[in-house]
Amino acid sequence: WEDNLTSFSATTDAKLRKVMVLVCNGTVGLDAMGPAQVFHKARGADGQQLYSIIFASPDGGKVALDCGVEIVACRLYDVDGA
């Protein structure tokens, strides 16, 4: 369940490209969710999902966006390839 909080995709297919959305307290909600939604909706010619979305912050854990929504982010330095 917790993995679903930090990613729009529960899929761990190695073919998915990882997109990291960096967030911190006070981040504008649209600045975080807009790109995440675009990459989440992107599909290949075969209709398969192309990207796995990861929210990350310097310390990880709960992050309060400017709109009052809280999301759970991975710790930036714990993400492979960061």
Q: For residue range 52-69, list pLDDT tens digits in order.
A: 999 999 999 999 999 999
Q: Is the pLDDT of residue 13 over 80?
A: no
In the DSSP assignment, the letter for residue 31 is H
Q: Check if the beta carbon of residue 57 is closer than 8 Å to that of residue 32.
A: no
Q: pTM for this one?
A: 0.76
